Amino acid sequence: MTLAIDVHDLVKRYGKRTVVDRFSLAVERGRICGFLGPNGSGKTTTLRMICGLLTPDAGGGTCLGHDLVHDREAIKRLTGYMTQRFGLYEDLTIRENLEFVGRVYGLDRLKARVDQSLEQLGLTTRQSQLAGSLSGGWKQRLALAACVLHEPKLLLLDEPTAGVDPKARRAFWDEIHTYAAEGMTVLVSTHYMDEAERCHEIAYIAYGELMARGTAEDIIRQSGLFAYIATGPGADRLALKLRDEPGVTAAAAFGTTLHVCGPDRVDLKHAIEPFRSDPNLVWQEAEPTLEDIFIHLMGQARDNAPGAKA
């Protein structure tokens, strides 16, 4: 097994707050690992430690075989990091942005590389347009092109498609898969469940701690959660009634369907019992979704969080 990322027990503290707490992660080469977790849970901090921009307070490991603490320059050369906010210059043209990034990396054959990148993006005819005038989806594709210009082996993408429309997100993900098929490893943070499902595997972090790891199927199988779906007139409106019942972790309406889940099958059945006699509703046991599981894990992490971290 060849690991692109192999880090263990990473810790990052800001003052007295531990924002990343003994975080370990191994990702094989060529895999796309989704990095999920609530706001402020330490995703950006972890990504920055993995690419050598932040020094961990404890822990270590390797990235593409290079030591995380002592070999940071080598790691930076082999890694493409796309920041959470648009990192290019809005008042430079598309071509100028790519050339600028290429010069920062001291790349040879700069013109040829930029030409090829523009061609691949389908932006050759628009290369003189200011980057700031691009739509959100195109900006993100340009940012991705900029971070692969130096042909990295590892891509760290921090919420690359936030606020981008579904068609552009799909194009972005198709590109990520193309890179992975060529052997690139990708660690990508996201809040979107459909994107989590497009990853080979998932790491879920809450308040600095890794809470779940594996393929979507692994995570669903290991969740220990139970779920029911109700369909029929008014099913969606039961969400409000069930949400705070004992044994219910989450109850949500999806269109006209109700989805309810909890960690104990007997308690969950007990909670829905009063509504099962409604002849208009059809109840079915179902698999919990990733979203159910993440909401459940988030609740658990809060319960366990020591005061210092809250």
Ligand X SMILES: Nc1ncnc2c1ncn2[C@@H]1O[C@H](COP(=O)(O)OP(=O)(O)OP(=O)(O)O)[C@@H](O)[C@H]1O
66 bridge partner residues: 63
Which among 42-50, 118-126, 237-245, 273-281 is the span making contact with ligand X, rule CB under 6 A?
Answer: 42-50
Report in angstroms how near the CB of residue 46 gets to ligand X at its nearest: 7
CA–CA distance, 138 with 130 (Å, rounded to integer): 12
Among residues 19, 206, 235, 261, the one that binds ligand X under rule CB under 6 A: 19
CA–CA distance, 197 with 187 (Å, rounded to integer): 14
Kindly state the DSSP code that residue 93 receives in the 8-state scheme: B
The answer to whether residue 289 forms part of the interface with ligand X (CB under 6 A) is no
CA–CA distance, 202 with 173 (Å, rounded to integer): 15
Among residues 18, 45, 190, 289, the one that binds ligand X under rule CB under 6 A: 45
* Closest to ligand X by CB, 20 or 154: 20
Among residues 16, 39, 277, 284, the one that binds ligand X under rule CB under 6 A: 39
Q: Which does 79 bind (CB under 5 to 8 A by kind): Mg ion, ligand X, none?
A: none
Contacts of 54-58 spanning 24+ positions with Cβ under 8 A: 54/12, 56/10, 56/11, 56/12, 56/20, 57/11, 57/12, 57/13, 58/9, 58/10, 58/11, 58/22
The answer to whether residue 254 forms part of the interface with ligand X (CB under 6 A) is no
* Closest to Mg ion by CB, 52 or 160: 160
The tokens describing 269, both together, are 């059945």
* Closest to ligand X by CB, 143 or 258: 143
* Closest to Mg ion by CB, 11 or 130: 11
Which among 32-40, 61-69, 144-152, 270-278 is the span making contact with ligand X, rule CB under 6 A?
Answer: 32-40
Q: Residue 37: left if φ>0, alpha if ψ -120 to 50, beta else—which one? A: left
Among residues 34, 37, 102, 152, the one that binds ligand X under rule CB under 6 A: 37
Q: Which does 63 bind (CB under 5 to 8 A by kind): ligand X, Mg ion, none?
A: none
Q: Which does 39 bind (CB under 5 to 8 A by kind): ligand X, Mg ion, none?
A: ligand X
Report in angstroms how near the CB of residue 35 gets to ligand X at its nearest: 9
Q: Which does 14 bind (CB under 5 to 8 A by kind): Mg ion, ligand X, none?
A: ligand X
81 bridge partner residues: 156
Beta strands in the chain (DSSP E): 3-14, 17-28, 32-36, 58-63, 66-67, 79-82, 154-158, 185-189, 201-206, 209-214, 226-231, 250-254, 257-262, 282-286
Q: Which does 40 bind (CB under 5 to 8 A by kind): ligand X, Mg ion, none?
A: ligand X
CA–CA distance, 63 with 61 (Å, rounded to integer): 7
The answer to whether residue 43 forms part of the interface with ligand X (CB under 6 A) is yes
Interface residues with Mg ion (CB under 5 A)?
Answer: 43-44, 84
Considering only residues 66-95, where is the footprint of ligand X by CB under 6 A? 84
Cα-Cα-Cα-Cα dihedral sign, residues 292, 295, 301, 302: negative
The answer to whether residue 160 forms part of the interface with ligand X (CB under 6 A) is no
Footprint of ligand X (CB under 6 A): 14, 19, 37, 39-45, 84
